[in-house]
Structure 1
Amino acid sequence: MTSPLLAHRGSLPEAVLWDMDGTLTDTEPLWLDAELILAREFGAAWAHEDALAVVGTPILGTARILAGRGVALEPEEIVRRMERHVAEAFADLARRGVAPWHTGAIELARAVRAAGVPQALVTSSPRLVAIAAAEAAGVFDVVVSCDDVERFKPDPQPYLHAARGLGIDVGRAVVLEDSPSGIASGRAAGARVIGVETALPVTPAPGLRVVGSLAELTLADLGIT
């Protein structure tokens, strides 16, 4: 008898390429904690509201603001300290079985893995954090972080780099993304993109499927026609 998973194999994509934060994981609270811990260590003026104000901005820019507020380290060292905190916190949560996966994300990733479809994690986060998430998930064949490319989302380079690493045709891959820049990156690369509304609405566009949660998707929904 054919396995229900393998029954889908003929129509499945050549690969599934995942965005990390906002799609697979919710690490934002871990970054907020890292900022507040550093500020307290140096007696710097940094409230929860300050941390919220820099959400979605480049980490080096946040580090420069923290340095200006009194964190007596070079911005690059601040970045390294925050990266280590987030990576270690994620790994600890994963060991305790409470990694911050978005609803339905890890279940879908594991189903894709069981079906024999390769997967890549493609993120604008630093490699140290990406590796912590990838190791916790245990399903990714390739990891592409901001440290691995010269051009970032919305440029197509991150997804093209992942496709090359997997040895697949990006036009036969599916990208799972939540942000406008990530969706633009995947589409510019030539992949089929599914937008996931985890925090903000996704703007409809021709050829773009939008779901409210990854729990809505099955293996059949990832099929390439």
Structure 2
Amino acid sequence: MRFEVDAILFDIDGTLVDSTGAVVRSWEAWSAAWGIDPAEVLRVCHGRRSEDTVAEFLPSDQRAAAVAELERLELADLGDVTALPATRDLLSALPEGRWAAVTSGSRALMRARLAAAGLPVPDVLVAAEDVRLGKPDPQGYLQAARALGFDVRRCLVVEDAPAGLEAGRAAGAHVLAVATSHSAQDLCAADAVVPDLGACSVEATASGLMISTAVGPRADPVL
């Protein structure tokens, strides 16, 4: 499948970097400290802002301290954060000003994870604190497209989690899923699903970008 777009809007955790071990360890430690079943937390936390997950388990007067504690745990756990396959090559093939990152994590944490993985920090990085509503709300992707100066309908969102796919869809973008943290069946809202970015190639064209995938569409083709 091919996407002809102006820019690519990437999620970070599970899309550009493999931080699964750190995410699980941090949430498990956090859950133990707050007396919450970690399985219940891990069931709902992926692809969402920490503050939105915390709000499901704690009263409002405890949330700020709980989010700060989780951030401390995550910033201290970067040892096995790595770039996912082919990520460096794909990012290096993108012209300046043609990509952004939209994340449910904080700016400090995402910069730290990108650095740990040896990946560049994009000029446009929309983090948890930059939006009023997190994924699955489309606010982050709409903001990133505006910052790059492109119509979001001419952008490709790349995500690994259902909440992010829903956000990309709601924004009006084309949507590509990488099955790094969820099964392909869980990612059926995408236009196409690939195992990781190694199944993609990108070419700069006179009108923008051409992204080709080695795996077929999961929905109606978007060209």
TM-score of the two chains, using structure 2 as the length reference: 0.71
Structure with greater helix percent: 1
Which protein shows a greater Rg? 1
Alignment-derived partner of residue 120 in structure 2? 138
Q: What CA distance in whole angstroms lies between the structure 2 residues aligned with 1:109 and 1:177?
A: 15
Q: Is 1:31 aligned to 2:23, yes or no?
A: yes
Query: How many equivalent pairs are there?
Result: 196
Cα deviation, residue 12, structure 1:
6.1
Q: TM-score, normalised by structure 1?
A: 0.71
Larger fraction in strand: 2
Q: Say yes or no: does 1:15 pair with 2:15.
A: no
CA contact (8 A) 1:34 1:85 kept: yes
In structure 1, the residue matched to 2:207 is none
1:222 aligned to which of 190, 197, 211: 211
Alignment of 1:78 with 2:66, yes or no, is yes
- Structure-2 change in CA distance of 1:22 and 1:214 (3 Å): same
- How far 1:144 sits from its partner (Å)? 0.9
The one-letter amino acid of 1:172's match is R
3-state SS in 1 of match to 2:100: strand
Q: Name structure 2 gaps, 5 residues minimum.
A: 204-209, 213-221
Distance in 1 of aligned mates of 2:50 and 2:139? 20
2:183 paired residue number = 200
Greater than 6 Å deviation, 4+ residue runs: none
Give the Cα–Cα distance (whole angstroms) in 2 for the partners of residues 99 and 59 of structure 1. 18
Aligned equivalent of 2:38, options 43, 51, 69: 51
Q: What are structure 1's unaligned runs of at least 5 residues? A: 1-10, 68-72
Give the partner amino acid of 1:14: D
Residues 31-70 of structure 1: CA deviation (Å, up to 9, x unaligned):
3333455678x7x767xxx434311336345588699xxx
What's the secondary structure of 1:215's corresponding residue?
A: helix
1:100 Cα deviation from its structure 2 partner: 2.4
Which residues in structure 2 correspond to 1:124-135 (within 5 Å)? Answer: 124-135=104-115
Cα distance in structure 2, aligned partners of 1:64 and 1:89: 24
Instruction: Report the CA distance between 1:84 and its aligned residue.
Output: 2.8
Secondary structure (helix, strand or coil) at the match of 2:158 reads strand
Q: Which 10-residue stretch deviates more, 132-141 or 160-169?
A: 132-141
